Amino acid sequence: MALRNGVSFLRLLTLRQSARLLTTHTRPELQNGGKLAEFPGAKAPYVTEMRFLDETSYDPIPIYRVLDNSGEVIDRNEEPNIDNDSLVNIYKTMAQLSQMDKILYESQRQGRISFYMTNYGEEGVQVGSAAALQPQDLVFAQYREVGVILYRGMTVTELVNQCYGNHEDPGKGRAMPVHYGSKQHNIVSISSPLATQMPQAVGAAYAFKRQANNDRIVICYFGEGAASEGDAFAALNFAATLDAPVVFLCRNNGYAISTPSSEQYRGDGIAARGPALGITTLRVDGTDTLAVYNAVKKARAFALENNKPVLVEAMNYRVGHHSTSDDSTAYRSVEEIEKWTKDESPIQKLKLYLERKGLWSDEEDKAWLKESRDNVVKTMQDAEKKQKPHWKEMLEEVYHDMPPRLQKQMQQMEQHLKKYKEHYPLNQYQSD
């Protein structure tokens, strides 16, 4: 965010220096003896030169990276200290995710599940960030963060059951596919309306802050599209003013369905909003799993230590269609997609890195991909055989205790089903 050419002061906000570095070059046109004005709303110097700022007044916020495209560490000092097992686990989770996406996407095409969304191209942001968190941290996700969910320990079986909405779905078949959630793994159940999770994440972080010996932060994932919602601004501003230990992780993948980021915002992306609101901010290469890991690890430590928010903008590309309801060739070129699949695949980059370190090989890769695929296919076959929850689950848990009116409605439906059972797919659902 350095102000370009000859501007009066320079603010550096980096994670390394948690304190702000304010360099006030004493410039002749500073009035009032350089003394800052003391308006309640701004402490700033007076000047006599009228200068409007615009998006070219600032240098673009740089993109932090650790690996180059061939999986080589660019600056040895930045190589994270991750033990070998964890490194392999990160990679395996990313590869597993990609295989799961392929099969479940296809299964939607075959009419086995009603809907699906893939994570292609964003595996690195998801798993790299998840690896930098602690199990006790609370996750508020958007929907394209399945790598986070897998890494935190939800099993492929649980996820597939959710997509099928069978009786083993922890969400009891009530939500559309990919709306996962797990109390056990500290993942708040995903809700479709965009950005609603963001102010909620801040409130949760505030509650953590007030707990004795707090060792938890909140991480809040959101897309660059969702960042246009009013809730997104509310969340950032609340987090800043109420000093909440929350890490905002924006997945900037270039698109919100068909809308390119160039029609979503002007200025320097989502990261630029951080310093403007007084939030410590970093932009990172989202295709570089290690860079994301470093970023989130530091961000987490900073948030916890200072009880302050951090904004991380991870730059990447949505390689897949928005969802099974979308065909992205209607609004972007195949060449554009290819560019990002070929050179910028996070999975490929991390694989090359692991190979350089002698931690992974092509044979191991082949075996793991096959194991991952077999696992998903087997799980799907099982999930398909499982019945959906009892229809009465439809009316449960609307309230803590079922109100009489809802009890009456349940009785009405029960009566109705006695008489008209042949017209309802009761055999697909559990029964009394």
Partner 1 sequence: MSGLVTNGSVLLTRFVSRFNGCTKRLSSHFTYFPDNGKPVEGETTKMNMMQAINNALDITLKTDDSAVLFGEDVAFGGVFRCALGLQDKYGKERVFNTPLCEQGIAGFGIGLATAGATAIAEIQFADYIFPAFDQLVNEAAKARYRSASQFECGALTVRAPCGAVGHGGLYHSQSPEAFFSHAPGLKVVVPRGPISAKGLLLSCIRERDPCVFLEPKILYRSATEEVPDVDYTIPLGKAQVLREGDAATLVGWGTQVHVLLEVAEMAGTNLGLACDVIDLQSILPWDEETVCNSVKKTGRALIAHEAPLTSGFGAELAATIQEECFLHLEAPVARVAGWDTPFPHVFEPFYLPDKWRCYQALVDLVRY
Ligand X SMILES: Cc1ncc(C[n+]2csc(CCOP(=O)(O)OP(=O)(O)O)c2C)c(N)n1
* Contact partners, residue 253, CB within 8 Å, separation at least 6: 121, 122, 144, 223, 224, 286, 316, 317, 318
**SS3 for the chain, per residue?**
CCECCCCCEEEECCCCCCCCEEEECCCCCCCHHHCCCCECCECCCCCCCCCCCCHHHECCCCCECCECCCCCECCHHHCCCCCHHHHHHHHHHHHHHHHHHHHHHHHHHCCCCCCCCCCCCCHHHHHHHHHCCCCCCEEECCCCCHHHHHHCCCCHHHHHHHHHCCCCCCCCCCCCCCCCCECCCCEECCCCCCCCHHHHHHHHHHHHHHCCCCCCCEEEEEECCHHHCHHHHHHHHHHHHCCCCEEEEEEECCEECCEEHHHCCCCCCCCCHHHHCCCEEEEEECCCHHHHHHHHHHHHHHHHHHCCCEEEEEECCCCCCCCCCCCHHHCCCHHHHHHHHHCCCHHHHHHHHHHHCCCCCHHHHHHHHHHHHHHHHHHHHHHHHCCECCHHHHHCCCCCCCCHHHHHHHHHHHHHHHHHHHHCCHHHECCC
Among 96, 253, 375, 379, binds ligand X (CB under 6 A): 253
Binding piece for ligand X, criterion CB under 6 A, among 47-55, 80-88, 188-196, 347-355: 188-196
Min CB(411)–ligand X separation in Å: 35
Nearer to ligand X, 231 or 285 (CB): 231
Taking residues 353 to 372 in sequence order and writing x for each that binds partner 1 by CB under 8 A, - otherwise, the string is --------------------
Among 171, 177, 223, 320, binds Mg ion (CB under 5 A): 223
The closest residue (CB) to Mg ion is 223
The closest residue (CB) to ligand X is 223
Taking residues 322 to 351 in sequence order and writing x for each that binds ligand X by CB under 6 A, - otherwise, the string is x-----------------------------
192 catalytic per annotation: yes
Residue 320's Cβ-count burial label (10 Å; 0-12, 13-18, 19+) is: buried
Residue 13's Cβ-count burial label (10 Å; 0-12, 13-18, 19+) is: middle
Among 85, 362, 423, 432, binds partner 1 (CB under 8 A): 423
Nearer to partner 1, 128 or 177 (CB): 177
321 catalytic per annotation: no
Residue in the block written with tokens 């449960």: 396
180 near ligand X (CB under 6 A): no
Among partner 1, ligand X, Mg ion, none, residue 409 binds (CB under 5-8 Å by kind): partner 1
Residues 190-209 that bind Mg ion (CB under 5 A): none
146 near ligand X (CB under 6 A): no
Binding piece for ligand X, criterion CB under 6 A, among 93-101, 208-216, 247-255, 265-273: 247-255
Binding piece for ligand X, criterion CB under 6 A, among 74-82, 255-263, 272-280, 401-409: 255-263
106 catalytic per annotation: yes
Among 331, 366, 384, 411, binds partner 1 (CB under 8 A): 331
Min CB(322)–Mg ion separation in Å: 9
226 near ligand X (CB under 6 A): yes
Among 126, 161, 253, 294, binds Mg ion (CB under 5 A): 253
225 near Mg ion (CB under 5 A): yes
Taking residues 252 to 281 in sequence order and writing x for each that binds partner 1 by CB under 8 A, - otherwise, the string is ----xxxx---xxx----------------
Considering 18, 70, 192, 333, which one is annotated as catalytic? 192
Binding piece for ligand X, criterion CB under 6 A, among 25-33, 224-232, 290-298, 405-413: 224-232
List contacts with partner 1 (CB under 8 A).
111, 114-115, 165, 173-176, 179, 191-194, 225-226, 228-231, 256-259, 263-265, 322, 324-327, 329-331, 388-389, 391, 393-395, 398, 405-406, 409, 413, 416-417, 419-420, 423-425
Catalytic residues: 106, 192, 322-323
